[in-house]
Structure 1
Amino acid sequence: MSEHSHSTEGHEEHAGLSKGKIWQVFGILLLITVIEFIIALVILPKGYISHGIGNFIYIALTLLKAFYIVAYFMHLKYEKLGLQLSLTVSFIFIIYFIVLMLIEGGFLNLHMINH
């Protein structure tokens, strides 16, 4: 019988994603979620901070959670820099165009009502 040796070449970079690392990322995501709940259910209703600042913090925490999910659970952290940059730049342009469309839509809505 022939022996089959399994090559681990190319898989060393995934060795960092152990059970401990998965639990660590889970803990970070859980902590961020708890902070978001505290902001949404306690801090904003009681008026400790303004809604604008609260929304900014909430959005920043949500983007941080998205980073952890994409980086670790979708394995983007272990991809080559070229793929990371192409996906990141594409994502930034999509967000940019959505913001531009919302601004333009608001501008048109405001001027269509007044005329």
Structure 2
Amino acid sequence: MSNIQVLVRTNYVEAQSIPLEHRYVYTYTITIANKSDVPAQLISRHWRITDANEKLQEVQGMGVVGEQPHLKPGESYTYTSGVILETETGIMEGTYHMRTDEGAMFDAPIPTFALVPPHAVH
């Protein structure tokens, strides 16, 4: 359908992580850019979060960080959220369910990205 680009930056939050308690905190900043010629609104999200033990968490809900941004062609929207894992590393992927101003529904894929603390990067 429409060309929605999703860019992701991740950050390991060492100050909030407690490895001895299997608590690893990450933030992720996402920029959603409307590269099409049709306005579209983000309606809901669906995340698949997998830790290093292959434990899957699925998160679904309306909007992102309490908003349902409406993007005109060429516009972008950036937000930051977070996740807590039981293992030091993991991956996330998902989709944003979008609606054009004409009412057409479509999914914008969120590419798979890694959650890895700086000391674990080779």
With the shorter chain as reference, the TM-score category is under 0.3
TM-score, normalised relative to structure 2 = 0.19
Bigger relative CO (Cα 8 Å, ≥ 6 apart) = 2
When Rg is computed on C-alpha atoms for both structures, the one with the higher figure is 1
TM-score, normalised relative to structure 1 = 0.20
Higher strand residue share: 2
Higher helix residue share: 1
